[in-house]
Structure 1
Amino acid sequence: MDSLNPEHPPLIMTPADHAPRVWKFFGTALWGLLIFVAMFVGQVGAILLLAALRGLPIDMASIQSVGREPAALALSVIMGLPATLAAVWLAIRIKKASFVDYLALHWPSWKQLLFGVVGLILVVLAWETMSRSLGREATPGFMTDLLQSGRDKGAAILLLFAFSVAAPMSEEVLARGFLYRGWSASFLRVPGAIILSSLVWTVVHLQYDMYFLAEVFTIGLWFGYMRHRANSLWLTIVLHALNNMTAVVLTMWLGS
């Protein structure tokens, strides 16, 4: 037997062989910042390109002017996706880890999907009820204006794709994908990773007031829980997409 043959000693697995190739707390935080910067550069780059194609000066006034247009804003959100994916791929590649496994890009079961959808509906309905009781809008006013303006200017489909596909994928890959994966393997463990990644995701939405930020945070907690429960980033991407698509459709076509 090989185990008794000195020329063929048995293979001994050291603890290092089993160590997951994962960025831990500080590595994940630093790379998370770089990924966010990449997303931002991709989004602003789209606006700058549009301004340049129109012969406008490349300055803050042009960026603000072009960026207020519904179609331009949609294109900006869409262009943030490839930039985000490229930065995440690089971070994972450096660790020589599997992109699919690192981000848990596994399809959930139908039961997990149904459970996630039901929970999301309950969270959203709770906030909807609270908003009505407080006499608040269920959707931020500026988003209502943007979406309805985009509908009137023929940018409805582009906006729908941007907010229902590109944005959920970019944000979930960053928050529940990369950040959660690294932080859950650190001293934060799963509960801390869910909370901190939800906080980061909330910060990405600073265009909202504190009330809507609180709603974003609670939805993020649900997404984080489902990411852990199902071990599937595709699940949170689908939930995020359904949430955004419902809001966009209701706002653009039903004025709600």
Structure 2
Amino acid sequence: MDALNPDTPPTTIEPPPRPPRVWRFWGTSLWGLLIFVAMFVGQVAVVIYRIIAQGGELSAAGITHVVADGLTISLSVLAGLPMVLLVLWFAIRRTGIPFADYLGLRGTSWKNVIIGLVALGVLVGAWDMVSRAAGREVTPGFMGDVLKSAQEHSALWLLVIAFAVAAPLWEELFARGWLYRGWSETSLGPYGAILLSSIVWTVMHLQYDWFFLCEVLSIGFLFGYLRFRTGSTWLTILLHGLNNFAATLQTWWLAG
């Protein structure tokens, strides 16, 4: 027998490689909390830097003054993107699944893009009609002040990049990419994941009042459904970016 032959050493059986695994409910939730904290830390670091750069004090009044500044808001939104990407990379690397595959970063058809654009246009248009009928502002009032502040600092272009590119990227990677992927493969299923991730995404927009929060929630439902039906997070990133860009233009126009 070969096993008794000194010239032929016994063959060692290597254990099979660990199969890729998706983070389940609690893993997705805890990593999601860490992702949010990392984003928050990045944004707070920008606020502190701006206070020091302007010679202000690290007090409630100093923070309130700086946070209302358009340039500070732009830089803080931009700072959140690399922090989110970094923690996502660490979390997904442990699963053995490629980064793009885990987050649904795959292309989709032009038909799906058109359907998404039409659906988003109808939804936002309906909310605008309800807002006008109720005698409300079509856009949040503070957004006009933010735009004017950014324009005073010659940073309007930076604000557009932050709102229409950086924010849609990290928000969609977090909500429709990370949260949806993990929660949809639990007992929640796709529709439970759409509901829960949309609620989390809405809570991230507490700077708005109840009316705009309801609108954000409905948009979250639409984006979640499109993520489920197409499997593409790039689609929701595109739609999110176009929606924010249109909202920025609308606010700029209404603010004069």
Alpha-carbon separation, structure 1, partners of 2:255 and 2:144? 8
SS of corresponding position for 2:132: helix
**Quick check: 1:25–1:186 contact (8 Å CA) kept in 2?**
yes
Equivalent position of 1:76 in the other structure: 76
1:118 matches 2:111:
no
Equivalent position of 1:255 in the other structure: 255
Identity over aligned pairs, percent? 52
Alpha-carbon separation, structure 2, partners of 1:60 and 1:170? 28
1:189 matches 2:189:
yes
How well do the aligned residues superpose, as a CA RMSD in angstroms?
2.0
Equivalent position of 2:26 in the other structure: 26
Using the TM superposition, give the Cα deviation of residue 90 of structure 1 relative to its aligned residue in structure 2, in angstroms: 1.0
Alpha-carbon separation, structure 1, partners of 2:57 and 2:36? 26
Using the TM superposition, give the Cα deviation of residue 72 of structure 1 relative to its aligned residue in structure 2, in angstroms: 1.0
Alpha-carbon separation, structure 2, partners of 1:253 and 1:130? 20
Alpha-carbon separation, structure 1, partners of 2:55 and 2:133? 49
Residue deviations 1:98-124 (CA, integer Å, cap 9, x gap): 101000111111111111101000100
Alpha-carbon separation, structure 2, partners of 1:96 and 1:62? 45
Residue deviations 1:128-169 (CA, integer Å, cap 9, x gap): 111111111111111122123323442211111111011111
Equivalent position amino acid for 2:178 in 1: F
Equivalent position amino acid for 2:51 in 1: A
Query: Structure 1 regions of 5+ residues with no counterpart?
Result: 1-7
1:129 matches 2:129:
yes
Larger deviation, residues 44-53 vs 196-205: 44-53
Using the TM superposition, give the Cα deviation of residue 254 of structure 1 relative to its aligned residue in structure 2, in angstroms: 4.7
Equivalent position of 1:64 in the other structure: 64
**Quick check: 1:100–1:106 contact (8 Å CA) kept in 2?**
yes
Distance 1:148 1:72, change over 3 A: same
Indicate the structure (1 or 2) with the bigger Cα radius of gyration: 2
Equivalent position amino acid for 2:23 in 1: W
Using the TM superposition, give the Cα deviation of residue 238 of structure 1 relative to its aligned residue in structure 2, in angstroms: 0.4
Alpha-carbon separation, structure 2, partners of 1:57 and 1:140? 29
SS of corresponding position for 1:244: helix
Alpha-carbon separation, structure 2, partners of 1:97 and 1:64? 42
**Quick check: 1:78–1:167 contact (8 Å CA) kept in 2?**
yes
- With normalisation by structure 2, the TM-score equals 0.89
Using the TM superposition, give the Cα deviation of residue 73 of structure 1 relative to its aligned residue in structure 2, in angstroms: 1.1
Equivalent position of 1:50 in the other structure: 50
Equivalent position of 2:237 in the other structure: 237
Alpha-carbon separation, structure 2, partners of 1:104 and 1:198? 17
**Quick check: 2:198–2:224 contact (8 Å CA) kept in 1?**
yes
SS of corresponding position for 1:135: coil
Equivalent position of 1:179 in the other structure: 179
SS of corresponding position for 1:87: helix
**Quick check: 1:39–1:80 contact (8 Å CA) kept in 2?**
yes
Query: Structure 2 regions of 5+ residues with no counterpart?
Result: 1-10
Alpha-carbon separation, structure 2, partners of 1:138 and 1:63? 28
Equivalent position of 1:145 in the other structure: 145
How many aligned residue pairs are there? 243
Alpha-carbon separation, structure 1, partners of 2:141 and 2:58? 29
1:93 matches 2:93:
yes
Alpha-carbon separation, structure 2, partners of 1:250 and 1:234? 24
Using the TM superposition, give the Cα deviation of residue 79 of structure 1 relative to its aligned residue in structure 2, in angstroms: 0.3
**Quick check: 1:151–1:252 contact (8 Å CA) kept in 2?**
no
